Amino acid sequence: MPTWHYSLKLRDESKIAKAVAFDIPVSIKYMREIANSIKGMKLSEAERFLDNVIKLKQAVPFRRYHGKVSHKKGLAEQFGWPSGRYPVKGARYVLELLKNVKANAENKGLNVDKLVIAHIAAHRGLTLKRYMPRAFGRATPKYRRTSHLEVVVKEVE
């Protein structure tokens, strides 16, 4: 079985907390856009942002995978990019991971109010390949894509 390591290497790990989630049943395209939108935010601000995404009040900017994605109100003022979507399923999984890293930080003795997302990355996971039978003996592939997500928060003064 292959080994896995965080993609961020730090010498002093006393002021950071880490968490990882494997095999999230959400496409890497959505997870990448969510991760890039909350990178650098305070932890409480990122949780509030993801709650608004789940409630369909605030959109996530889609910068790389923006083909045929419509413009959303207020995105250009906040993120400098007009097109976006509401990836509710992905936002739920990222919010769960942020709660895990918050609990890890509390367990380590860090101040939760001063935590900032220093690193967050989405990686491609397994692709489950299924085939749907079609007419005249043909078959259509049906892929179930998963992704991995890692997050590192640090305490700032």
Ranges of each domain in the chain: 27-155
Is the CB of residue 93 less than 8 Å from the CB of residue 110? no
Residue-level pLDDT at 1 = 65
In tens, the pLDDT along 78-130 reads 999 999 999 999 999 999 999 999 999 999 999 999 999 999 999 999 999 99
The angle formed by the CA atoms of residues 144, 90 and 23, to the nearest 5 degrees, is 45
State percent of the chain over pLDDT 90.
94
- Given a cut of 90, whether residue 157 has pLDDT beyond it is no
**Which residues are CB-neighbours of 65 under 8 A, at least 6 positions away?**
29, 32, 33
- Record: fold of 27-155: Ribosomal Protein L22; Chain A (3.90.470)
| pLDDT of 36 | 97
Residue 4 has pLDDT above 90, yes or no: no
Terminal CA-to-CA distance of the chain, rounded, Å? 40
* pLDDT for residue 120: 98
Q: Is the pLDDT of residue 10 over 90?
A: no
The pTM assigned to this predicted structure is: 0.93
Share of the chain above pLDDT 70, in %: 99
pLDDT of residue 73: 92
What is the SS3 string spanning the chain? CCCCCCCCCCCCCCCEEEEEEEEECCCHHHHHHHHHHHCCCEHHHHHHHHHHHHCCCCCEECCCCCCCCCECCCHHHHHCCCEEECCHHHHHHHHHHHHHHHHHHHHHCCCHHHEEEEEEEEEEEEEEEEEEECHHHCEEEEEEEEEEEEEEEEECC
